[in-house]
Amino acid sequence: MPTSLKFIGVCAGTLAFFLFVINVLQSSTPNAATATATTAPKEKSDDDKIFHVAYTCGTAVEKSAKYDLRWKLSSPSKRFPYTMGGRDMVNRITLVGDEAEAQNGFGGWVRVNYSCTFDWQSDKVVATTIEAGRLP
């Protein structure tokens, strides 16, 4: 596959992720007519929520590494270019990426792929995985 098509696929996957997240966030946001200004806390923007999920998942993946983990990309929102979801994951989203290296028992660095499942209802990470190798 030509490099330009891979790039387009990654961009389309990232765009689909952000559109999915915005849709989920909008469907879980209470109606403005029912919320009162005195009791409701200030609502975060969609960008803040997306960054929060990416940052929370990045931290969870780092903690699940056996020895150490270093990222190839500095921005938390770019570390997870792929998403997975389905009917059984209504309030959950799985972020996937392969832009990191994990340290093995000998001190060497190995390229890894990782995933993080985030639950929108509880605002917590449900599961993380780290496996050696790049994504196919």
Write the DSSP string, 108-119. Answer: -EEEEEEEEEEE
Considering the domain boundaries, does residue 39 fall inside one? no
With cut-offs at 50, 70 and 90, classify the pLDDT of residue 110: very high
Beta-strand ranges (E) seen in the chain are: 69-71, 82-84, 92-103, 109-119, 124-132
**Beta-bridge mates of residue 49:** none
Residue 59 reports pLDDT greater than 80? yes
37/8 Cα distance (integer angstroms): 43
Q: Between the CA of residue 23 and those of 20, 40, 75, what are the distances in Å?
A: 5, 21, 23
* DSSP label at residue 28: H
79-87 mean pLDDT = 75
Residue pLDDT, tens place only, 11-35? 455 555 655 666 655 665 555 554 4
Mean pLDDT of the chain: 75
119-132 mean pLDDT = 89
Q: How many domains does the chain have?
A: 1
Q: Given this model, what pLDDT does residue 121 score?
A: 84
Q: Between the CA of residue 99 and those of 14, 62, 95, what are the distances in Å?
A: 14, 12, 12
Considering the domain boundaries, does residue 23 fall inside one? yes
Considering the domain boundaries, does residue 48 fall inside one? yes
Considering the domain boundaries, does residue 28 fall inside one? yes
**For residue 124, what are the domain limits?**
3-33+44-132
